[in-house]
Amino acid sequence: MERTDGNPFFLVEFARLAGDRTGAPEPDQLPTAVTDVLNRRLQRLPERTVATLRTAAVLGRDFDTPTLATITGIDEDDLLDVVEPAQAAGLVREDGIDHFYFAHALVRDTLRGGLSASRQARAHARAAEALTGVRGRETEVARHWRGAGPSYADRAWRSAVDAASLARRFHAYDQAVELLEGALKSLEGDPAAGLRDRYDLLMGLVEAYRWSALLPDLVRVVEEAIEVGKRVGDPEAVAWAAVATTRGSLWNSAPPGEVNELVVAALRGSLERLPREDSELRSRTLLALANELQAVASLQERTALVEEGVAMARRVGDPARLMEAHQVAFVAQWVPATAPERLRQIDEALRLAEETGNERAHLVSATLRAVVLNELGRADEMRAAVALARSEARRLRIAFAEIVLAGVELPWLAMAGRFDECDRLLAEIADMHRQMSHSDADEAMAGAMLAVRLWQGRAAEVVPLLESLDESQTFSAPVAVYLWRAGEHERARAYYAEHGAALDASSDVELFSWSMAAEIALHVGDPEVAARAYELAAPYAGWCSTAGSGLAIGPVDAFLAMAAAATGEVALAARHADDALALAASWDLPLVVDWIREQRATYGY
C-alpha cells in the first residue's frame, strides 16, 4: 500500500506479481506492466529532464533545488526549466519554494531503477558531499554515505554515529537504532576500524535499543560488547558492557525467572579485576549484579550487594550516580516487604534527578514512584504520580514508560467499573506493545487484560493467559480463583487439587499469590493453606494486593478476611472485612465494595 499509494492499477499489478511468485516480491522489484506505463510517460520528456530526475530519485521521494543543483552541476534557475516538463506531465509536484516531490513513489522507483548500481553510488556520494555540514540534514548525509558503497565505509559509519547522537537528543530513538545498525554494517567494510571502534559503536546501539524498548536486541549487543571488551583486553570495557542492561531503564538481561550466565560471569569477573577502592564503575557493577541475580539469589544476598553499591555511590559524591544507584536498588530488592524503603529510595532518586536536570532519569524515578504508591494503597497519590509520569513519557516519547503506567492505572479503573476508559487504555497499550520487544511490556499487557476481564465478569476468557504464566506454579492459586469467579467451581476445585497454591516463592508477585491463595482456600475449604496465607499477608494490611507493577486486585484486608473465615476466625474476618470495605470506599472502587459484601453474605462473616 505504501508503494502503490492506493492506486487501483498499481495495486492490481503488485498483486499479480506476488501471485506469480513463490515468495514475496523483492523490495525494489516492480511489475512489468507498471514500469511499461511509467517508462512510456518518461520517454515523452526531454532527455536532460529524465537524467536529472534519475539523480533526484537517488535523493529520495522529495528533493530540493539547491541540493539537486549542486549534485548535477546545473544552475538553479536552469534546473527549474529542466524540472518543469515533469511537472507538466504530472510526474513531479511542487511543494513550496524550491522543494519538489515525486507524484507517486513508483515514479521514483522506476527512475532509480534506470540507474546502474555504480551510478547510484556516485550520486549518493555527490549528495553526501553536498549535504555535509548542512544543519538538519545529518541523517540524509549518513544514508547517502552508506549508499555510496564500500569505498566510503569509514565516512558512512562515522556520519551515522553523529546522526544517531542528534536523533537521541530529539528523542527519535527508532531513528537512532536504524542509523547505528547501518553503521555497524558499514564499519565492517572499513579496514581502518578497530575493535575499540566496534565496542564504542555497540555501546551506542545498546543505548538506542534501551529507549526503544527492544530488549532482546539490547541483550544480544551487550553480550557482543562484553566479548569485544575481552578481546581488547580492557576489564573496564567488559564491566561497562555488563552493567549496560541495568543502566537507565532498570531491566536485566534474562527472561523472567532466569539468569544470563554470560552477563553475571562478566560482572563477577569485573568485581575481581577492578580496583577495590571506591569508583563509579565498581558501584555500578555491585548494583548490576544484585539486579541480574533476582531469580536465584536471596533477598539478603541482593540487599548486601545493594547496600555496598549505594554506600559507595554516596562516597563517590556524584549526585547522578547516587540517583541511579537508588533506582537500581529499588528494582533489585523488589518484594512487598521492601516497599516503604523503596519509596524512600525513589523519592531521593526523584529529588536528585530534578537537581541534575536528567529528564529520562526523572521519568524512570517518577514511574517507579507511581508503582510503589500503587503497592502501598496510597490511591490518590498514585493517581497523581501516574498523571505526572505519563505526561513526561509522552513528551520524551518513551512508550515503554507509558505501558508500565497504563498497567498501574488500568486495574484501578476496572475496579471502579470505568470500562470505557479501560478499553481506550487497552487499545493504547496494544498499539505501543506492537512497537517494541520486551518481556516487561508483555507482562504489562497481560496484567491489564487479567484485571479488566476479572471485573467485567469475563474471568474465564483469560484463564488460558494465566495458565501460560504458571510455569513455576506461582500463579496456580490465581488460576483456580479466576475459574471460581467465572462460576466454574468444579474446574477450580480440580485445578487446585492438582496444583495447590504457591506460598514460598520470593518475588514481586508474592503478595498477589498469597491473596489468591487465601481466597481459593476459603472457596474450597483448606484451613491450613488459609492460615499460612494469613500469616504471610498480615503485615500488609492497609495495602493494595498487586502483582509487580500492575494487576492491583483490591485491599489486602479483603483477602485477610477470607483467610480468617477459612480458619473459623469469624470475628477476625469481620474486622478485616470492615477495614477492607472502608479502604475500597475511600479508594472509590464500587465493584470491589460490592464483591466484598457478596463474599461476606456468602460465607457469613
Q: What is the CATH number of the domain that holds 57?
A: 1.10.10
Of 96-100, 119-123, 578-582, the range with the highest mean pLDDT is 578-582
Q: How far apart are CA 392 and CA 474, in angstroms?
A: 34
Cell numbers at residue 394, please? Answer: 509522552
Number of domains making up the chain:
2
pLDDT for residue 507 is more than 60? yes
Mean pLDDT of the chain: 90
Distances, alpha carbon 258 to alpha carbons 200, 297, 311, in Å: 28, 11, 28
Confidence of residue 36 (pLDDT cuts 50, 70, 90): confident
In a domain, 338, yes or no: no
d(Cα 249, Cα 206) in Å, to the nearest integer?
11
161's grid cell: 554515529
| Alpha carbon distance 145, 128 (integer Å) | 6
Amino acid at 258: E
Does residue 19 have a pLDDT over 50? no
Helix (H, G, I), strand (E, B) or coil at 488: coil
Burial 497-508 (b: 16+ CB within 10 A, else e): eebbbbbeeebb
pLDDT of res. 3? 45
Residue 59: inside a domain: yes
Residue at 534 is within a domain = yes
pLDDT (average), residues 381-390: 96
- Summarised one tens digit per residue, pLDDT across range 132-157 is 999 989 999 999 999 999 999 999 99
Residues 106/38, Cβ–Cβ less than 8 Å:
yes
Is pLDDT at 562 greater than 70 in this prediction?
A: yes
The confidence score (pLDDT) of residue 39 equals 82
Q: Single out the residue in 115, 147, 181 at which a domain terminates.
A: 115
- What is the reported pLDDT for 300? 95
* pLDDT at 522 (0 to 100): 98
- Is the pLDDT reported for residue 1 higher than 80? no
Residues 112-135: pLDDT tens digits? 888 999 999 999 999 999 999 999
CA distance 85 to 102: 13
Whole-number pLDDT of residue 20: 44
Q: Sign (positive/negative) of CA torsion 371, 547, 257, 434?
A: negative
Is the pLDDT at 237 greater than 90? The verdict is yes
The parent domain of residue 574 ranges over: 465-603
- Beta bridge mates, 102: 92
**Residues paired with residue 93 on neighbouring β-strands, in sequence order:** 101
510 domain-assigned: yes
Q: What is the pLDDT of residues 439-469, one digit of tens each?
A: 556 677 788 889 999 999 999 999 998 888 7
Q: Looking at the domain assignment, is residue 409 inside a domain?
A: no
**What is the C-alpha separation between 213 and 177, in angstroms, rounded?**
11
pLDDT of residue 504: 81
Least confident range from 22-31, 291-300, 427-436: namely: 22-31
Q: What's the mean pLDDT in 300-314? A: 97
Per cent of the chain over pLDDT 70 is 92
Q: Give the model's pLDDT for residue 7.
A: 46
On the question of pLDDT at 23 being above 60, the answer is no
pLDDT over 80 at 10, yes or no:
no
What pTM, to 2 d.p., does this model score? 0.80
Share of the chain above pLDDT 90, in %: 75
What single-letter DSSP state applies at residue 23?
S
Distance CA 6, CA 488 (A): 50
**Confidence tier at 426 by pLDDT (50, 70, 90):** confident
pLDDT attached to residue 192: 95
Distance between CA atoms of 38 and 100, rounded to whole angstroms? 19
Q: Comparing 21 with 306, which gets the higher pLDDT?
A: 306
Statement: residue 82 has pLDDT above 90: yes
- SS3 state at 575: helix
Tens of pLDDT, residues 257-284: 789 999 999 999 999 999 999 999 999 9
Residue 259 lies in a domain: no
pLDDT at 200 exceeding the cut of 80: yes
* CATH code of the domain containing 546: 1.25.40
Q: What is the pLDDT of residue 17?
A: 34
The answer as to whether 516 is a domain residue is: yes
Between CA 563 and CA 259 the distance in angstroms is 35
pLDDT at residue 8 greater than cutoff 50: no
| Predicted confidence band of residue 559 (pLDDT cuts 50, 70, 90) | very high
Dist. CA 462–CA 569, nearest whole Å: 33
CA–CA distance, 566 with 550 (Å, rounded to integer): 27
Q: pLDDT class for 33, splitting at 50, 70, 90?
A: low
**75 contacts: CB under 8 Å, gap ≥ 6:** 69
Provide the β-strand partners of residue 92. Answer: 102
In this prediction, residue 361 has a pLDDT band, given cuts at 50, 70 and 90, of very high
In a domain, 560, yes or no: yes
Using 50, 70 and 90 to split pLDDT, how confident is the model at 16?
A: very low
Q: Of 97, 115, 133, which closes a domain? A: 115
pLDDT of 249 reads 61
* 88, 115, 142 - which closes a domain: 115
What mean pLDDT is predicted for residues 327-340? 95
Q: What is the β-pairing status of strands 92-94 and 99-102?
A: antiparallel
Report pLDDT for 571. Answer: 97
